[in-house]
Amino acid sequence: MIQTTAKNKVIIGSRESRLAVLQSEMVRDYIKEQHPGLDVEILTMKTTGDKILDRTLDKVGGKGLFVKELDKALLEGRTMLSVHSLKDMPMEVPEDLPLLAFSRREDPRDVLVLPEGAASLDPLKPLGCSSLRRTLQLQTIYPDMKVKSIRGNLQTRLRKLDAGEYAGLILAAAGLKRLGLEKRIHRYFSADEILPAAGQGILAVQGHKGLKYEYLSGYKDEDAWIAGTAERAFVRYLDGGCSSPVAAFGIVEGEELFLRGLYYREKDGRYFKDSIRGSKTEAARLGMCLAERMKREHEEQENDKYTGGEPV
């Protein structure tokens, strides 16, 4: 049963990493600016995903490990909102804990970060990378480089990089920019080079079905909502998560949505990219249609001939 809180008080649940708190502060500041009479606090907590750092996410339960504690706080009424990086959220969201709004999208690209003072990659050291999605696409860009898993928050990863453990890190531009670390970026990868994770660069605000959220009026970015909805529909159809390197990236162009997707074929480890374009009012349908088409073409055809995208 939901506990009640003071009428003029809003408590936001957040992971305790510096980036997560900063992102929650962005939502807090919006609410306070629009509604100065509200008392807005942030309640931080360490999630299971933050505690388990010696194994990759696909080995320990996937993205749900980053939201379990935040969901529990919402259900128990200890918080009224949770702020997440949309790319870290499971594709299935509890009915009682709906997604309320998506922020305006920050730079969605992946980037290369070198050790401080370095001007190029050291071929004798590995690239640090936290996802199979990135690892697969990096093999095309840096075929001679080894890739080694790295876990931990952004500051922890940068410390390991600067200590000489890695030749470079592959990170999301959005987190670096939000933390004022844009100067650390050595190279940006286009979406053609590395297709971003679904929801990358978007903040998701999650609430409880039984509460009212008038104070969030105006926060929702329509283009991010459309693109994020399509991207998540694509991944959801393919049952993709941390254990499957599925990726999707949508761009709203006028009244249309242009959506690109990456499909991974487990039986031979190959991946394929394809795209679809249609009305932005049918975002979820477009995501499902692209996923269904790619799965049919690359998984269910008897011959292995590629008929529609770009085999890699």
Residues with Cβ within 8 Å of residue 126, at least 6 apart in sequence = 145, 146, 147, 148, 166, 167
Catalytic hit among 71, 88, 110, 274:
88
Give CA–CA dist 251/201, Å, rounded.
13
Q: Are residues 94 and 214 in the same domain?
A: yes
Q: Are residues 92 and 129 in the same domain?
A: no
By residue range, what is the domain housing residue 250? 229-301
Q: Are residues 94 and 117 in the same domain?
A: no
For residue 306, being part of any structural domain is answered with no
Distance of CA 310 to the CA centre of its chain: 24
CA atoms within 13 A on the CB side of 131: 23
Give CA–CA dist 110/52, Å, rounded.
24
For residue 143, being part of any structural domain is answered with yes
Q: Are residues 90 and 19 in the same domain?
A: yes
pLDDT the model gives residue 51: 47
Q: What DSSP designation does 296 have?
A: I
pLDDT the model gives residue 308: 43
Q: What is the CATH number of the domain that holds 78?
A: 3.40.190.10
pLDDT the model gives residue 248: 98
pLDDT the model gives residue 67: 85
pLDDT in tens, the chain (312 residues): 344 455 789 999 999 999 999 999 999 999 999 999 999 999 999 765 454 444 444 444 445 556 889 999 999 999 999 999 999 899 999 999 999 999 999 999 999 999 999 999 999 999 999 889 999 999 999 999 999 999 888 999 999 999 999 999 999 999 999 999 999 999 999 999 999 999 999 999 999 998 999 999 999 999 999 999 999 999 999 975 545 789 999 999 999 999 999 999 988 889 999 999 999 999 999 999 999 999 999 876 544 544 344 444
pLDDT the model gives residue 269: 86
Helix then strand count (H, E) for the chain reads 9, 14
The tokens for 81 are 């909102």
Q: Are residues 93 and 116 in the same domain?
A: no
**Do the Cβ atoms of 127 and 166 come closer than 8 Å?**
yes
Q: Are residues 139 and 246 in the same domain?
A: no
For residue 310, being part of any structural domain is answered with no
Q: Are residues 132 and 154 in the same domain?
A: yes
pLDDT the model gives residue 23: 97
Q: Are residues 184 and 295 in the same domain?
A: no
Confirm whether 88 is a catalytic residue.
Answer: yes
pLDDT the model gives residue 60: 45
> pTM of the prediction?
0.88
Q: Are residues 133 and 78 in the same domain?
A: no
The H-or-E segment that residue 13 falls in is strand 9-15
pLDDT the model gives residue 2: 42
For residue 196, being part of any structural domain is answered with no
Q: Are residues 139 and 122 in the same domain?
A: yes
Q: Are residues 238 and 210 in the same domain?
A: no
For residue 50, being part of any structural domain is answered with yes
pLDDT the model gives residue 12: 98
User: How many domains does the chain contain in total?
Assistant: 3
pLDDT the model gives residue 5: 52
Q: Are residues 132 and 241 in the same domain?
A: no
Nearest to 208 by CA among 38, 81, 42, 67: 81
Q: What DSSP designation does 304 have?
A: -
For residue 278, being part of any structural domain is answered with yes
For residue 287, being part of any structural domain is answered with yes
